[in-house]
């Protein structure tokens, strides 16, 4: 059996989906998280023959079943064409009237359905209750109270669903009994004769002037005839879509919403409203947001923490830096242990080099930043889960609009702080093609998790004491680049204005520890797996290329005569104006930039290999590798050059996976090449400007 979950955005579909299927799909407290449908399996429905397996499909959140937005099309086509055995219509019970609008449409199909009244915990807290018996009687389908977040009522819901799926149901329309009822009836009959499924649903759509897959075109003439016979044209002056919507709303307000009772006489302002009066305040909102973000970066990257020198001499590092230190010590210890083990086994010099200077130096330098990545994502998940992220989009809408972007585009861009790949897929929620292309093109400027090690490494090495500010500055440079290039693109390649942004703000929730843990676990898993597979493999390649010359003879480690040395030096002149290509070792930075085009973790692992100063064997335990790497960076990068190098990595081609993903979203060879060129040009130009400005400022 197949059950589909359908409901408005942010009503809790994915939470229920995860609960039923035991999966860990992304739950976000803002609309538009699920773009494609997702499938999972529910086991353990208490059927008569023991547990049974049910496929569960999580559809994107939609307000209606018209085919106007990509999400609506996905959901509508699934419900109509794939014919699931049952639809679980999830309703946010704190927003009954708006949610029932979709319900009245699903009811018109012939597919069995149950209504799951979600968020009943919130409703209860607000002093409300829904008379489910009465609502069920009026709708003609089972209604069950649940709270997906607290797993309440899930057993009852699934029992009711299994029972309902066994019965036949034929579509019913709230238009029955209105002037349009007769037309619906007649047209549905017409569809029935032609053997089409869901005749009532199709009939209402036909009256609205929307004909989803009716097969024969010959019907439209007959439909117009029926409309004429009944005199609908005169009644509604031809605007049937508005008339149908009106009819739905009036039935909902008259017929259904009275089933909610509020026990407390005056509902007054909810807690969310009161919090919002401060956090989305016209003047205070944005400063609070930026202050909050600043604190987040400070806690993750600062060393020492501000004012901490009052407590301890020299101050104390932020929790993020402290944990990074531990992780660094751990990877170093592992590297030493591996080196020692190889030595006692009598391994050859080059094998030891490969393991210690290649794999451990490269992968270890990437892995040591894991704690800081997790810390930043903990804050981002907290913001997202609590509902503050949605406020950020709301707050940013007005300033962004001036630059040709809307708050709607800001949501996928925010996801870009995590990873560009799913964020680019998230742009499918934008209906305007130009705005979608623009959003994909700006995506890399919203620094993703894989770039974090670069910022953390340079921040700590080049800007001691100010690492938090330096990282914050990188993020600010990214946003500035997005704003400036957006204005330019909107005036040239992608002429047009931002689309209108309408989003309801979800209620604030206390973040759920389990949800946070899942986010962090997924992040950690992804990062560690990448570091130990793709990045490790690529690091080995870099090690070989930096230890062998073109004649395949081993050269001195990391010598300019090695293969990457020769190739890197060829490219140095291209980067000379950007400030970081003036030292004899400059080719190493250039090689790191090029490998960074494949995956951004490669920047750090490449520098880790190429700048690894350990000399053959004896120095194994003498020098702290990370300290030496920092010293090498200081010798090769002035602060201005470091900022310029970071800017290049921030703005250039993000990684191969993101290019593939952008290609999937653009669906045009011309556009993907334009995009790649745009990224490279912006990176070069941005670094050039950053370097000059930083020098003027005395860095
Ligand atoms: P979707 O957009 O419909 O997939 O909704 P999500 O599953 O992503 O949930 C949106 C937000 O509502 C998340 O912050 C959830 O934690 C929260 N949520 C979901 N179900 C409930 C519930 O029953 N009670 C409460 N209080 N919050 C819920
Ligand atoms: Mg969802």
Secondary structure of 210-271 in HEC code, one letter for each residue: CCCCCCCCCHHHHHHHHHHHHCHHHHHCCCHHHHHHHHHHHHHHHHHHHHEEECCCCCCCCH
Pick one of 2.30.110.10, 3.40.50.1100, 1.10.3720.10, 3.40.50.300 as the CATH number of 2-165.
Answer: 3.40.50.300
* CB atoms inside a 10 Å sphere around CB 456: 25
Residue-range domain boundaries for the chain: 2-165, 174-264, 320-696
* Cis upstream peptide for 507 (omega within 30°): no
| Residue 344 structure tokens | 């006692």
Supply the residue whose CA is at minimum distance from atom 18 of ligand 1: 12
Measured from the CA of 122, which atom of ligand 1 is nearest?
Answer: 26
Rounded to whole angstroms, the Cα distance separating 192 from 173 reads: 16
| Residue 141 structure tokens | 């389908």
Question: Where is 41: in which H helix or E strand?
Answer: strand 38-43
What is the residue whose two structure tokens read 């060879």?
A: 669
Adjacent-strand bridge partners of 92:
118
Q: Length of the chain, please? A: 699
Render pLDDT for 532-579 as a digit per residue (tens, 0 to 9).
888 888 888 988 998 888 887 878 878 888 999 999 999 999 999 999
CA 447 to centroid of chain Cα atoms: 13
How high is the pLDDT of residue 623? 44
* CB atoms inside a 10 Å sphere around CB 694: 20
Measured from the CA of 27, which atom of ligand 1 is nearest?
Answer: 8
> In testing the pocket of ligand 1, which one of 15, 31, 505 has its CB within 8 Å of the most ligand atoms?
15
pLDDT-above-90 percentage for the chain: 33
Render pLDDT for 81-112 as a digit per residue (tens, 0 to 9).
888 999 999 999 888 888 999 999 999 999 99
- The rounded Å distance from CA 92 to ligand 1 centre is 9
Average pLDDT of the segment spanning 631-653: 95
- Number of separate helices (H) and strands (E) present in the chain: 32, 8
**Do the beta carbons of residue 382 and residue 576 sit within 8 Å?**
no
Rounded to whole angstroms, the Cα distance separating 647 from 478 reads: 8
Q: Which of the four pLDDT bands, split at 50, 70 and 90, describes residue 618?
A: very low
Supply the residue whose CA is at minimum distance from atom 13 of ligand 1: 29
How high is the pLDDT of residue 240? 78
How high is the pLDDT of residue 449? 87
How high is the pLDDT of residue 620? 38
Indicate if the pLDDT at residue 239 is higher than 80: no
Render pLDDT for 498-526 as a digit per residue (tens, 0 to 9).
777 766 778 888 888 888 898 889 888 98
Rounded to whole angstroms, the Cα distance separating 80 from 273 reads: 38
Q: List the single range of 28-37, 271-280, 353-362, 438-447 with lowest mean pLDDT.
A: 28-37
Supply the residue whose CA is at minimum distance from atom 24 of ligand 1: 119
Rounded to whole angstroms, the Cα distance separating 280 from 288 reads: 9
Angle between helices 285-301 and 271-279 (to 10 degrees): 90
Q: Which of the four pLDDT bands, split at 50, 70 and 90, describes residue 237?
A: confident
| Higher per-residue confidence, 459 vs 314 | 459
Render pLDDT for 27-38 as a digit per residue (tens, 0 to 9).
766 666 666 778
| Residue 209 structure tokens | 């002037």
Residues with CB under 5 A from ligand 2 (ion): 14, 33-34
Distance between start and end Cα atoms, the chain: 65
- The rounded Å distance from CA 88 to ligand 2 centre is 14
- List residues near ligand 1 (CB under 6 A): 7, 9-15, 27-29, 33-34, 61, 118-119, 121-122, 147-149, 385, 509, 512
Measured from the CA of 15, which atom of ligand 1 is nearest?
Answer: 7
Angle between helices 285-301 and 370-386 (to 10 degrees): 160
Average pLDDT value over all residues in the chain: 85
**Do the beta carbons of residue 66 and residue 210 sit within 8 Å?**
yes
- The rounded Å distance from CA 14 to ligand 1 centre is 7
Supply the residue whose CA is at minimum distance from atom 25 of ligand 1: 119
CA 592 to centroid of chain Cα atoms: 27
How high is the pLDDT of residue 621? 41
Q: Helix, strand, coil: what percent of the chain each, to 5?
A: 60, 5, 30
**Do the beta carbons of residue 679 and residue 651 sit within 8 Å?**
yes
| Residue 674 structure tokens | 């334009």
Instruction: Report the DSSP pairing between strands 113-118 and 86-92.
Output: parallel
- The rounded Å distance from CA 486 to ligand 1 centre is 33
How high is the pLDDT of residue 269? 63
Q: Which of the four pLDDT bands, split at 50, 70 and 90, describes residue 613?
A: low
- The rounded Å distance from CA 70 to ligand 1 centre is 22
Specify whether the backbone of 69 is left (phi greater than 0), alpha (psi in -120 to 50) or beta. beta
Residue among 615, 618, 642, 643 at smallest CA distance from 630 = 642
How high is the pLDDT of residue 7? 93
Q: Which of the four pLDDT bands, split at 50, 70 and 90, describes residue 313?
A: confident
| Residue 248 structure tokens | 């739905």
Rounded to whole angstroms, the Cα distance separating 307 from 529 reads: 38
Q: Which of the four pLDDT bands, split at 50, 70 and 90, describes residue 619?
A: very low
Q: List the single range of 382-386, 399-403, 451-455, 485-489 with lowest mean pLDDT.
A: 399-403
Rounded to whole angstroms, the Cα distance separating 227 from 243 reads: 13
Most confident of 228-237, 376-385, 684-693: 684-693
Q: What values do phi and psi take at 63, rounded to 5?
A: -95, -20
């Amino acid at each position: 059996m197949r059950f589909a979950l359908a409901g408005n955005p942010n009503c809790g579909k994915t939470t229920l989906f995860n609960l039923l299927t035991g999966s860990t799909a992304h739950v976000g407290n803002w609309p538009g998280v699920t773009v494609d449908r997702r499938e999972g399996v529910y086991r353990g429905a208490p059927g008569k023959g023991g547990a049974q397996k049910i496929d569960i499909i999580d559809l994107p959140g939609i307000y209606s079943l018209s085919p106007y937005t990509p999400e609506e099309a996905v959901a509508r086509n699934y419900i109509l064409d794939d014919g699931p055995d049952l639809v679980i219509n999830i309703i946010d019970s704190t927003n009954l009237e708006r949610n029932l609008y979709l319900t009245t449409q699903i009811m018109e199909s012939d597919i069995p359905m149950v209504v799951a009244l979600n968020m009943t915990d919130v409703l209860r807290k607000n002093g409300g209750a829904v008379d489910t018996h009465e609502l069920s009687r009026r709708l003609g389908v089972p209604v069950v109270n649940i709270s997906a977040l607290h797993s309440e009522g899930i057993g009852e819901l699934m029992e009711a669903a299994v029972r309902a799926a066994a019965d036949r149901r034929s579509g019913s329309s709230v238009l029955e009994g209105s002037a349009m009822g007769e037309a619906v009836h007649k047209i549905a009959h017409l569809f029935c004769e032609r053997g089409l499924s869901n005749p009532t649903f199709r009939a209402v759509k036909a009256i609205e002037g929307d004909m989803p897959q009716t097969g024969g075109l010959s019907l439209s003439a007959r439909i117009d005839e029926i409309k004429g016979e009944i005199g609908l044209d005169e009644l509604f002056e031809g605007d049937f879509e508005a008339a149908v919507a009106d009819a739905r709303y009036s039935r909902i307000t008259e017929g259904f919403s009275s089933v909610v009772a509020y026990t407390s006489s005056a509902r007054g302002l909810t807690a969310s409203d009161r919090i919002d009066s401060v956090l989305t305040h016209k003047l205070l909102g944005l400063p609070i947001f930026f202050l909050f973000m600043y604190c987040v970066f400070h806690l993750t990257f600062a060393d020492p923490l501000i004012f901490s020198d009052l407590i301890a001499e020299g101050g104390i590092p932020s929790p993020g830096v402290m944990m990074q230190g531990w992780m660094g010590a751990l990877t170093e210890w592992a590297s030493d242990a591996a080196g020692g083990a190889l030595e006692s086994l009598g391994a050859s010099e080059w094998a030891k080099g490969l393991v210690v200077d290649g794999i451990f130096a490269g992968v270890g330098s990437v892995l040591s930043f894991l704690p800081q990545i997790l810390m930043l994502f903990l804050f981002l998940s907290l913001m997202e889960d609590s509902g503050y992220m949605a406020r950020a989009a709301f707050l940013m809408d007005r300033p962004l609009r001036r630059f040709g972007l809307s708050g709607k585009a800001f949501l996928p861009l925010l996801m870009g702080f995590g990873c560009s790949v799913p964020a680019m897929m998230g742009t499918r929620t934008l209906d305007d093609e130009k705005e979608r292309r623009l959003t994909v093109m700006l995506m890399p400027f919203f620094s993703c998790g894989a770039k974090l090690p670069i910022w953390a490494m340079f921040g700590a090495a080049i800007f001691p004491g100010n690492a938090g500010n330096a990282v914050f500055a990188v993020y600010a440079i990214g946003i500035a680049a997005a704003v400036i290039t957006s204005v330019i693109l909107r005036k040239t390649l992608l002429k047009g204005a931002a689309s209108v942004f309408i989003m309801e703000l979800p209620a604030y929730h206390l973040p759920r520890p389990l949800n946070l843990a899942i986010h962090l676990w997924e992040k950690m898993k992804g990062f560690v797996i990448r570091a130990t597979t793709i990045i490790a493999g690529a690091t080995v390649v870099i090690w070989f290329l930096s230890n062998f010359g073109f004649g395949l003879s081993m050269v001195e480690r990391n010598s300019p005569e090695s293969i990457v040395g020769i190739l890197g030096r060829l490219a140095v002149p291209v980067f000379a104006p950007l400030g970081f290509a003036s030292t004899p070792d400059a080719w190493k930075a250039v090689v790191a930039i090029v490998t960074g085009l494949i995956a951004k973790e490669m920047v750090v692992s490449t520098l880790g290999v190429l700048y690894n100063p350990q000399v053959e064997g004896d120095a194994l335990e003498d020098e702290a590798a990370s300290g030496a790497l920092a010293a090498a960076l200081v010798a090769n990068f002035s602060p201005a050059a470091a900022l310029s190098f970071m800017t290049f990595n921030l703005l250039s081609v993000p990684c191969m996976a993101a290019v593939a993903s952008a290609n999937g979203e653009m669906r045009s060879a011309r556009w993907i090449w334009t995009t790649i060129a745009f990224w490279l040009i912006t990176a070069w130009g941005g670094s050039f400007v950053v370097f000059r400005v930083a020098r003027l400022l005395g860095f």
